[in-house]
Amino acid sequence: MIRYALLCDRDHEFEGWFAASADFDDQQARGLVECPVCASKAVRKAIMAPAVSGTKARSQNNSPSHIIGQNHQMMMEAMGRVRRHVEENFDDVGDAFASEARAIHEGRSEDRGIYGQATSKEVRDLVEDGVPIAPLPPEPVKKTQLN
């Protein structure tokens, strides 16, 4: 397995694991590689230092991969809590998100927390117009969906 540090066109950093070096290029060409934060398919390999084993034995609990794994797990749990809080306390306006967010911003609708879906163009237009929005963290991957 080969691990690549990846970067989307919005500078979100993440990693991907591939069976062979040609697999990234193949999956990228078929549009299968996307940013887990914003779903952008404009993803490239980032510069990364090779993992070289030293001569000194390391404790498994202090190894960089173990620490990264712990940090990733903590981040995923925090994002899950944020998502649950939003789903439990905010109004789901579905695909009317862009129009409702704009109406709230302009004072034409009740000021409240909302969430829903918007196209990339709608998101860009809202941001350009100064409407305060943020992406909802993705749903956690179900263990049954992992390979």
Q: Is residue 74 a part of any domain in this protein?
A: no
User: Which has the higher per-residue pLDDT, 59 or 40?
Assistant: 40
Q: Is residue 89 a part of any domain in this protein?
A: yes
Domains of the chain: total: 2
Domain range enclosing 112: 79-133
- pTM: predicted TM-score of the whole model, two decimal places: 0.51
Q: Is residue 120 a part of any domain in this protein?
A: yes
Reading phi first (left if > 0) and then psi (alpha if -120 to 50, else beta), residue 132 is in beta
Which is it for the CA torsion 23, 26, 30, 35, positive or negative? Answer: positive
Q: On the CB side of 126, how many CA atoms lie within 13 Å of its CA? A: 23
Q: Is residue 51 a part of any domain in this protein?
A: no
Q: Is residue 107 a part of any domain in this protein?
A: yes
**Most confident option among 52-66, 74-88, 131-145:** 74-88
pLDDT tens per residue across span 93-143: 999 999 999 999 999 999 999 999 999 999 999 999 999 999 988 877 666
Q: Is residue 72 a part of any domain in this protein?
A: no
Q: Is residue 64 a part of any domain in this protein?
A: no
Q: Is residue 88 a part of any domain in this protein?
A: yes
